[in-house]
Amino acid sequence: MLLQSTLVLGLFSSFAIVTACSDHADGHDHVHERRSPSPAASLTPPSRPLEWGDINIIHTTDSHGWLLGHQKASFPEPNYSGTLGDFASFVTHMKQQAIERDVDLLLVDSGDLHDGTGLTDGFPSGGIDAHDANQFIKQLPYDVMAIGNHELYIYANTLDMHKNFAPSLKGRYLSSNVNITLLNEKNQVVSVPVGERFAKFKTRKGRKVTSLGVLFDFTGNDHNTTVQKVADMVKETWFAEAIKEEPDFFLLVGHMPIARDDWPLVFNAVRAVHPHTPILILGGHTHIRDCLQLDGRSMSLESGRYMETVGWMSAKLDRKGSTKDIKFSRRYLDPNRVTYEYHAKRNNFNFDTLQGELITKGLQDLSKKFDLSFQFGTAPHDFTITQAPYPSNDSLLSLFIENATPVALAINNTRASIPNIMITNSGSQRFDIYAGPFTKNDQLTASPFADSFLFIPNVPFSVANQVLPALNNAGADERRELQERRDHELYSRGHVDQVYSRWLAEQDRRSGLERRAARNLTLGYVTTDSCPGVGDDILHAPLPFHDVPDFIGSVPPSVSADTPIDLVFVDFIESQLLQILNGLQKAKQYTTADVQTYSPILTNAILGIYAQTAWN
């Protein structure tokens, strides 16, 4: 079969396209007639081969729809420019290497396929989030996948996973502590696992595996889905039965961070029955790169977010009954073609498989179907959430609340002439905006949340102007305690921004200025974890990091202290704002009865409207 050079054209506006002919065989019954696009930016290749063991695992987690790679030219984005099709080709070659080495290689995912880019979220009315994109993930040879919290926010998504996705894994889509309620074939209401509680299988080399798929104690799930606490799950009869027989190793997969969460509950329950059986844990959820060992015969790995990391774990097994430490290795790969080709021992002419090319082409067709390349305008430069200080001209938060929101909400608004202060939570912005075309996909990626704008009229300016500082004031003990409670509640509902931000801040604090001064290092992740050796596959300089407040506001109007103004805010923070407002003054007790709708425009439309106005 001849594949034309147009096969991979599409969204890669920041990629250089090179067409060439090659008759180089790659082990497949087709010939390549073109060379795949490579990032225009120069990418650093890995410096050393992967360490292989008897058991080897390629790990993904928290992909959140980033299946066409990161397509912008500003670093660190080119580090993560590989598509799902490129990844599929990589997996094929690595599986072949495993056969040649006569070892086992497993492909594992720890959840959160939904919510993140237009490929998942950009579906037309009547569609289901990630349904179309997941058809391409189903084509990869995953050995085990676990459910994530983003599969549970909307019942229709969970039902789609149960009916249309889980069956493709043939018993290895695992939801050990997650059920869905539905009508069975007898029209009876039943609660059943979304996938399977556990799986037992043999590897290619005949090794026996017992696998679980665990979700952290998530509380933000939709009606008719249930998440059992991990502490209760390990007491279940089915759990005891599942772990009773000793396998060659336990493969514990789950959407739960490997540190500061409940993996020890699962680990200790297994260890109580099998003190020395190897245990391999693949976690997720907090979007960081992390590794630790709970004992000498186990390793726990977490592999980042947004297809910005592909994890690698290997273990050299010994005889059953041994109590000696096992030799493990781990690596965090930057998912791009340079990385993939290096480890696959291929080049740009013989790397692509037919399956990989068709997956990329299919995703580009889906992008066109969803009109994700529709351009609102051209961003004049990069706007970032934490790389630039807030407030500043390069801050996405400043752009959103000081420029974009006032412009967008003034359109067709009878209250536009009344002075106002606008407040939102900084977490409303999820991803940076980079210079160049600002598209429908960029809008969905950067600002996805559909919050409404509310307002309270006739608030004295002197009072309204104190609300934002008061919301951000965590100095007092009671405010700090309130913040800790709020962080815990947000975490239980699935918010991980605070964990990821602390991780970035620590990288910058530890070696930011020094490494960024080194001319030979590009920007990227710089990981320090609890496992021996260097985990990052490629050495980078860490991104600059600046703290951002929890709440951000528009530029206050120039009016007198007693001028009545509109206090505008998003519905997400209504209860907190009312509490603060009532604590700042005693003239009036504000309640929800004082709150009105300010505009029909939702937060997820703001940037697109602004770009059409200001960036054309």
Give the tens place of pLDDT for each residue, 196-214.
999 999 999 999 999 999 9
pTM above 0.95, yes or no: no
How confident is the model over 142-161, as a mean pLDDT?
Answer: 98
How confident is the model over 330-351, as a mean pLDDT?
Answer: 97
**448: pLDDT strictly greater than 60:** yes
Per-residue confidence (pLDDT) for residue 397, from 0 to 100: 98
How confident is the model over 325-345, as a mean pLDDT?
Answer: 98
How confident is the model over 461-465, as a mean pLDDT?
Answer: 98
Per-residue confidence (pLDDT) for residue 519, from 0 to 100: 81
Of 314, 340, 369, the last residue of a domain is: 369
User: Are 13 and 37 found together in one domain?
Assistant: yes
The domain that holds 89 is classified in CATH as 3.60.21.10
User: Are 356 and 433 found together in one domain?
Assistant: no
How confident is the model over 146-160, as a mean pLDDT?
Answer: 98
User: Are 382 and 355 found together in one domain?
Assistant: no
Alpha-carbon span 259 to 420, nearest angstrom: 44
User: Are 421 and 362 found together in one domain?
Assistant: no
**476: pLDDT strictly greater than 70:** no
User: Are 310 and 439 found together in one domain?
Assistant: no
Alpha-carbon span 224 to 159, nearest angstrom: 10
Per-residue confidence (pLDDT) for residue 466, from 0 to 100: 97
Number of domains in the chain: 2
User: Are 404 and 286 found together in one domain?
Assistant: no
Per-residue confidence (pLDDT) for residue 22, from 0 to 100: 33
Helix (H) or strand (E) holding 457: strand 453-460
Alpha-carbon span 566 to 454, nearest angstrom: 10
User: Are 484 and 501 found together in one domain?
Assistant: yes
User: Are 151 and 55 found together in one domain?
Assistant: yes
Per-residue confidence (pLDDT) for residue 24, from 0 to 100: 35
Per-residue confidence (pLDDT) for residue 490, from 0 to 100: 87
pLDDT tens column, 415-425: 999 999 999 99
Confidence band, pLDDT 50/70/90 cuts, at residue 2 = very low
Confidence band, pLDDT 50/70/90 cuts, at residue 21 = very low
Greatest Cα pair distance, the chain, in angstroms, is 82
Average pLDDT, the chain: 92
Pull the structure tokens for residue 490.
């947000």
User: Are 96 and 219 found together in one domain?
Assistant: yes
User: Are 307 and 406 found together in one domain?
Assistant: no
User: Are 280 and 325 found together in one domain?
Assistant: yes
Residues forming beta bridges with residue 178, ordered by sequence position: 227
The DSSP output letter for 592 is G
Picking from 262, 263, 282, 266, the residue whose alpha carbon sits closest to that of residue 274 is 266
Per-residue confidence (pLDDT) for residue 473, from 0 to 100: 87
**66: pLDDT strictly greater than 80:** yes
User: Are 324 and 392 found together in one domain?
Assistant: no
Alpha-carbon span 413 to 423, nearest angstrom: 18
Phi, psi (degrees; rounded to nearest 5) at 582: -70, -25
Confidence band, pLDDT 50/70/90 cuts, at residue 15 = very low
pLDDT tens column, 533-590: 999 999 999 999 999 999 999 999 999 999 999 999 999 999 999 999 999 999 999 9
Per-residue confidence (pLDDT) for residue 37, from 0 to 100: 52
pLDDT tens column, 210-265: 999 999 999 999 999 999 999 999 999 999 999 999 999 999 999 999 999 999 99
Pull the structure tokens for residue 243.
């772990």
Per-residue confidence (pLDDT) for residue 17, from 0 to 100: 29
Of 369, 403, 425, the last residue of a domain is: 369
Q: What percent of the chain has pLDDT over 70?
A: 92
Of 318, 342, 369, the last residue of a domain is: 369
Domain range for 456 is 375-614
For residue 27, count other CB atoms closer than 10 A to its CB.
10
